[in-house]
Amino acid sequence: MRKIDIFRLTFIFISLFITLLLVFAIVALFLVPDPEDVWHNLLSEEMRYSLKLSLLTGLVSTLLVMLFSLPIGYTLSRFQFPGKSFVKTIIDLPVAFPELVLGLCLLLLFGNTWVGKALQSVGLNFVFTVKGVVVAQFFTALPYASRIMKSTFDYIDPRMEFVSRSLGYSRFETFVNISLPLARNGILASTVIAFARCIGTFGTVLILAGGTYMKTEVLPITLYLNISYGNMGMALTSGIVLMVVSFIAIYIFEKTEVGL
């Protein structure tokens, strides 16, 4: 008979215990509210506004995030230049930064500094506006997407690109013909994670764009506002919607088999 491995059993037990706690917490979110109530809340004017604004800002931010994280990820993976590690640290910073602090920094920058004033003079006012929601989401999600893109490009053999160039294709043509198609899974993973981050961003949005009812109200703000008025039904409903979005995102991410 095999001896019982106490070490193995203990570690597996710890992993299972925490997983179960999380599962119970998630299940509670779906079980506590009355389904009819949830449906009713979903159709309410506030929820429809919040859902629509979340999807709209989420899509725009994700698009912008990808537009920037592709070149940033490629740069960090392929090029050596002075100040590279500085760029890497600063871009990664928001991963460890509290969202509220990031929001505060952005609020200061886009507020009364010359940068803010210059942008406002061309019609880009990010403080307490819907545009601000996009900016807040953009900066929160960018590090995650850039990291995934960097590790995706790290896994693509640069010699594939070398061969393409030896056959007469320029750097840009090679990027389009070789690097992007080979990075397909990574781009998908990074887009999905960026979208989930954008939809779920709370602190940065709250500080920069403000949590104004039916104005800059995205799903996490709805959850927050309704909890503070004691309207549990609406809070739970936005929680459920956010949870569903993250589940789909993580599921697709796992499918693409890209490492962070």
Stretch in the footprint of another protein (CB under 8 A) among 38-46, 86-94, 160-168, 233-241: 160-168
Answer yes or no whether residue 182 interacts with another protein by CB under 8 A: yes
CA distance 255 to 260: 13
CA distances from 35 to 20, 24, 30, 236, 259 (A): 23, 18, 8, 11, 37
Nearer to another protein, 41 or 152 (CB): 152
Q: Taking contact as CB under 8 A, which single stretch among the options 20-28, 63-71, 154-162, 242-250 is the one that binds another protein?
A: 154-162
Count interface residues toward another protein (CB under 8 A): 15
CA–CA dist 67, 72 (Å, integer): 9
Measured distance CA(86)–CA(259) in Å, rounded = 23
The least CB distance from residue 170 to another protein, in Å, is 6
> Per CB under 8 A, does 31 bind another protein?
no
Answer yes or no: are the C-beta atoms of 239 and 38 closer than 8 Å.
no
Cβ nearer to another protein, comparing 8 with 159: 159
Of 66, 145, 178, 198, the one binding another protein by CB under 8 A: 178
Residue from 2, 3, 8, 159 in contact with another protein (CB under 8 A)? 159
Q: Provide CB contacts within 8 A for 201, sequence distance 6+.
A: 99, 136, 137, 140, 141, 220
Residue number, 82 or 168, with CB nearest to another protein: 168
